[in-house]
Amino acid sequence: MQRLEVREPVPYPILVGEGVLKEVPPLAGPAALLFDRRVEGFAQEVAKALGVRHLLGLPGGEAAKSLEVYGKVLSWLAEKGLPRNATLLVVGGGTLTDLGGFVAATYLRGVAYLAFPTTTLAIVDASVGGKTGINLPEGKNLVGAFHFPQGVYAELRALKTLPLPTFKEGLVEAFKHGLIAGDEALLKVEDLTPQSPRLEAFLARAVAVKVRVTEEDPLEKGKRRLLNLGHTLGHALEAQTRHALPHGMAVAYGLLYAALLGRALGGEDLLPPVRRLLLWLSPPPLPPLAFEDLLPYLLRDKKKVSESLHWVVPLAPGRLVVRPLPEGLLREAFAAWREELKGLGLLR
Ligand SMILES: NC(=O)c1ccc[n+]([C@@H]2O[C@H](COP(=O)([O-])OP(=O)(O)OC[C@H]3O[C@@H](n4cnc5c(N)ncnc54)[C@H](O)[C@@H]3O)[C@@H](O)[C@H]2O)c1
Ligand SMILES: O=C(O)C(=O)C[C@@H](O)[C@H](O)[C@H](O)COP(=O)(O)O
Ligand SMILES: [Zn+2]
């Protein structure tokens, strides 16, 4: 079992491994548990271990991150009369931890929450660092809050039911962390499987990158923007496809675009590892999109400063810049991106 201690802006532990439930301290007050129905068995185990009686199951996926579901969960907590000293436990993938974290941030102006991530993506990224939120039809994560968990407990036994494509998707965010930190070991995702003996150490290494960045800049005033590598285009693809393309796959497509931007700015050629990532991931091929199809979504990116979009561009592993770019360069890179997709057999 791996244990990391986050220190800033609030201290909380992150445990990754088998048997982590034994490490959760007893709950101080009343509690409620929100879970993804696909992991009901594990959620029952968590509830039993911690003596939680109020449970609400929801379908996972982006549909969970809607104003409608958000309102439904708030009303459920209010009906149960959960007080301000209650703790919300959230069991599921990144969509559940984003939704549940946001509910915890706003119910009674904020209650404590514990995350029990059940996807690789939620373990290495979504459950850590306090970004919570939901989507609007206009785009991804347009409503949210920073609200930090009191603990993150990643029980790897819960991954046993995870479909292989979803397992792989989470490792895209680990690959992203490898590019950000210049950690070559995190770029080697292709030979990882749910059975790999090195999985636990690999996941913890990827979490450590997220912890370092969010400790340094918890509220995304500067360095934390690096964690958005691949996300400006990725989020636009998710929204434009009405979430037919899931997050990790969209980010992988976005990383390819980011690598092309890096090459255009004179950076190292990062295309070979990103191409390998995409071939291994094998995401659904994209329709023949035009730059204009994505533009409305790109313009809602939260890194925009006044009228100017800011792009996270990798110049080499561990060397990234965040800056505005001329539209001509963005369009040229988009044309090159489509050519790349054609070459990889990823354009319909
Ligand atoms: N807050 C953050 O810092 C942050 C970081 C990265 C991603 N995200 C968000 O996370 C979301 C993506 O997370 P995700 O990839 O975990 O998606 P998800 O929560 O939709 O889970 C993916 C699928 O796996 C199912 N599932 C979950 N755990 C399972 C298990 N153990 N066995 C079988 N099925 C299981 C879900 O029901 C869903 O169908 C996106 O909304 C993204 O925006 C947030
Ligand atoms: O934690 C962060 O900061 C990130 O940007 C991590 C991303 O992987 C994640 O998808 C996040 O939800 C994106 O946030 P957003 O602010 O771009 O909506
Ligand atoms: Zn992400």
Q: Which residues line ligand 1 (CB under 6 A)?
A: 36, 38-39, 60-62, 65, 92-96, 98, 118-119, 121-122, 125-126, 129, 131, 140-141, 158-159, 161-162, 166, 169, 173, 247-248
Asked if residue 253 lies in contact with residue 286, where contact means CB atoms within 8 angstroms, the answer is: yes
pLDDT band at 306 (very low <50, low <70, confident <90, very high): confident
Q: What's the complex ipTM?
A: 0.99
182-197: pLDDT as tens digits:
999 999 999 999 999 9
Our answer to whether residue 220 is catalytic in this structure is yes
In ligand 1, the atom with minimum distance to the C-alpha of 210 is 3
For 258-272, give the DSSP string: HHHHHHHTT----HH
Q: Domain limits of the chain?
A: 1-162, 227-342
pLDDT digits (tens, 9 = 90+) for 251-298: 999 999 999 999 999 999 999 999 999 999 999 999 999 999 999 999
- Among the options 231, 263, 310, 338, which is catalytic? 231
**342 pLDDT band (50/70/90 cuts)?**
very high
Among this protein's residues, is 54 annotated catalytic? no
Smallest CA-to-CA distance from 280 within 340, 201, 190 is with 190
**138 in active site:** no
Q: What is the 3-state secondary structure (H, E, C) of 167-228?
A: HHHHHHHHHHHHHHHCCHHHHCCCCCCCCCCCHHHHHHHHHHHHHHHHHHCCCCCCHHHHHH
Do residues 207 and 14 lie in contact, with contact meaning Cβ atoms separated by under 8 Å?
Answer: yes
According to DSSP, the β-strands at 54-58 and 31-36 are: parallel
Ligand 2 site, residue 301, Cβ cutoff 6 A: no
247 annotated among ligand-binding-site residues: yes
CA distance 151 to 164: 27
Q: Are 136 and 148 in contact (CB under 8 A)?
A: no
Q: What is the DSSP letter of 340?
A: H
Q: What average pLDDT does range 3-17 have in this prediction?
A: 98
Name the strand (E) or helix (H) holding 77.
Answer: helix 67-80
Instruction: Please tell me the distance between residue 5's alpha carbon and the centre of ligand 2 in angstroms.
Output: 21
Note the pLDDT of residue 276: 98
Cα 120 to Cα 95: distance, rounded to the nearest angstrom? 12
Q: What is the structure's pLDDT at 236?
A: 96
204 membership: H or E segment, kind and range: helix 199-216
243 is in an annotated binding site: no
Distance CA 183, CA 177 (A): 8
From the CA of 224, the nearest ligand is 2
Active site residue 135: no
119 known member of a binding site: yes
Catalytic residue among 109, 160, 221, 242: 109
To the nearest 5 percent, what fractions of the chain are helix, strand and coil? 50, 20, 30
Please give the share of the chain, as a percent, with pLDDT higher than 90: 97
DSSP state of 26: P
pLDDT in tens, 197-232: 999 999 999 999 999 999 999 999 999 999 999 999
**pLDDT tens digits, one per residue of 137-181:** 888 999 999 999 999 999 999 999 999 999 999 999 999 999 999
Set 65, 168, 210, 310: catalytic member: 210
Residue of the CA atom closest to atom 36 of ligand 1: 60
- Can you give the pLDDT at residue 307? 85
Check the annotation: does 118 bind a ligand: yes
* Residues 153 and 114: beta-carbon distance below 8 Å: yes
Which one of 3.30.200.20, 3.40.630.30, 3.40.50.1970, 3.30.70.2740 gives the CATH number of domain 1-162? 3.40.50.1970
Pick the residue whose CA is nearest to atom 2 on ligand 2.
227
The answer to whether 97 and 90 have CB atoms below 8 angstroms apart is yes
Atom of ligand 2 minimally distant from the CA of 220:
3
Q: Which of 62, 155, 220, 238 is catalytic?
A: 220
Residue 79 CA, ligand 3 centroid: distance in Å: 33
* Average model confidence (pLDDT) across the chain: 97
Please count the CA atoms within 13 angstroms of the CA of 277 that sit on its side-chain side: 30
Report pLDDT for 316: 98
Pick among 1.10.10.2160, 3.40.50.970, 1.20.1090.10, 3.40.50.720: CATH of 227-342: 1.20.1090.10
pLDDT tens per residue across span 56-111? 999 999 999 999 999 999 999 999 999 999 999 999 999 999 999 999 999 999 99
243 is catalytic: no
Percent of the chain beyond pLDDT 70?
A: 100
Q: What is the total residue count of the chain?
A: 348
Active site residue 242: no
Rounded Cα distance between 132 and 101, Å, is 5
Distances (CA, A) of 109 to 45, 66, 74, 112: 29, 19, 11, 11
